[in-house]
Amino acid sequence: MSSPATSRRVALLTLGCARNEVDSEEMAGRLTADGWQLVDADQGEADVVLVNTCGFVESAKKDSVDTLLAAADTGAKVVAVGCLAERYGAELAESLPEADAVLGFDHYAALGERLDDVLAGRAPQSHTPVDRRTLLPITPVHRPAAAQEVALPGHGTAWGPQVLRTRLDNAPVAPLKIASGCDRRCSFCAIPSFRGSFVSRKPEEVLAEAAWLATQGVRELFLVSENSTSYGKDLGDVRALEKLVPQLAQVPGIDRVRVSYLQPAETRPGLVRAIATTPGVADYFDLSFQHSSEAVLRRMRRFGSTDSFLALIAQIRELSPEAGVRTNVIVGFPGETEQDLAELERFLTEGRLDAVGVFGYSDEDGTEALGLDGKLDAEEIAARVARVSALVEQLTAQRAEDRIGTEVTVLIESAEDEDFDCTGRAAHQAPEVDGECVVLAAEGLAVGDLVRCEVTDSEGVDLVVRPIEVLPRSLPQ
């Protein structure tokens, strides 16, 4: 390996959600601006491996630690960043001596300098975690000025005309962060404590980054945040998202805009209409229901019910009958009864959702649910996960089968194989989580093409489609 005096090569490994992907690309932008060379972690050429960790639930924490340990085996210096590092700081550093440094969000502005320290054998001091909600005013409208003094990963402001971001792949879809943090107090979730209070990015910053992404070959924008439905409340406009989405759809070079992380209690009719009816916006609703029993929702510090959630889905499908709807649910929450579980099953059956992630409850440090009574044992939670998962598998497969004979617009994301088949995603399918479309007889199609297709079959949540025509590409400016 080259000496630190002549080599400053860094590999980035990203775990967790699409928000972390944005953060990694911002870190990559900072590092390349500081003269660091980005290399592939698999090539074994890195002087430093930077692991952007996830700290959401126990399984994600384990994956992050395993990745750090594997990186240490390469002989490179290993630096932990991201949510696990921010959440546990010095505690993580002490328990994981294989990591040469554990850096929190406040280190990101001078990340290149901190990696120089690591190469020189000067380990930066690990931070002491704090509840990041305490760093900003309680009142959202008082946050914009104060937020300039608080580290907000993924909010990379422009250096003049340059966007502070370097793409780490050439995929035709890219996540675009519109906000960070969360003001909700869900009893099972620790994210607000280490991601902080809710802060919106200014619309002009989001639009500028969207235009830049278009010049990088991106055709679909995937809008991400901890809670997209809160966008604009700290900017003095609770309707800001329904105004921003059509503007993004007009960015030259961008052909599809997808919104994610919607809270049902905050999803207003105007936003539903904007997503369901605006040309260039995917009629796709990623709604965080979590459960549908009123009793369980109250213990979760959330709002809603089976009937109110079904009414919201009906409102969506009245505007767009083929709209995609997905959610995550937690089963086995403390105090969940058989009646509660049956109510959730009623919602899933009547809601006809396109994709559902089913998760078993697990205790999380620093959450209210940690101290709730009525805890179920692990075996019972696993049984309930299996029961609901089996139902979901059946229901989502039926929903996919219902699409046979319809037309979908598919963004091609994989190259041809030996049978000239491609894969991509329709408007109701988000990256990674919602299934895909297998495009038959796709000779001549290329990654990044947007293709009108007919659905001829389904396989679980996946669709089998045949191309009808390639749609023209709008050119970036």
Q: Which three-class secondary structure state does DSSP give residue 281?
A: strand
Report whether 154 contacts 20 (CB < 8 A).
no
User: What is the end-to-end Cα distance of the chain in Å, rounded?
Assistant: 42
Nearest to 129 by CA among 98, 104, 162: 104
* Position 237, amino acid: D
- Residues annotated within the binding site are 17, 54, 83, 182, 186, 189
Number of other CB atoms surrounding residue 368 within 10 Å: 15
For residue 9, list its beta bridge partners.
Answer: 37
For residue 175, list its beta bridge partners.
Answer: 222
Find the Cα–Cα–Cα–Cα dihedral 442, 448, 451, 453, rounded to 10°: 60
Strand 450-459 to 407-412 pairing:
antiparallel
* Position 105, amino acid: F
Find the Cα–Cα–Cα–Cα dihedral 393, 394, 398, 399, rounded to 10°: -40
What DSSP character marks residue 262?
A: B
Report whether 68 contacts 80 (CB < 8 A).
yes
Q: Give me the DSSP letters along 77-144.
A: EEEEEEHHHHHHHHHHHHH-TTSSEE--GGGGGGHHHHHHHHHTT-PPPPP----GGGGS-SSGGGHH
Handedness of CA 259, 56, 26, 49 (dihedral sign): negative
Strand 48-53 to 9-14 pairing:
parallel
Written as six digits, the tokens of 398 are: 């039926």
**Euclidean distance between CA atoms 208 and 188, whole angstroms:** 35
Q: How many CA atoms lie within 13 A of 282 on its CB side?
A: 30
The residue whose two tokens read 């300039």 is: 148
The residue whose two tokens read 């992050």 is: 64
Number of other CB atoms surrounding residue 201 within 10 Å: 24
Q: Long-range contact list for 157-164, CB < 8 A, 24+ apart?
A: 157/205, 158/205, 158/208, 159/33, 163/29, 163/208, 163/209, 163/212, 164/26, 164/29, 164/30, 164/33
Nearest to 415 by CA among 380, 443, 386, 379: 443
- Residues annotated within the binding site for [4Fe-4S] cluster are 17, 54, 83, 182, 186, 189
Report whether 336 contacts 296 (CB < 8 A).
yes
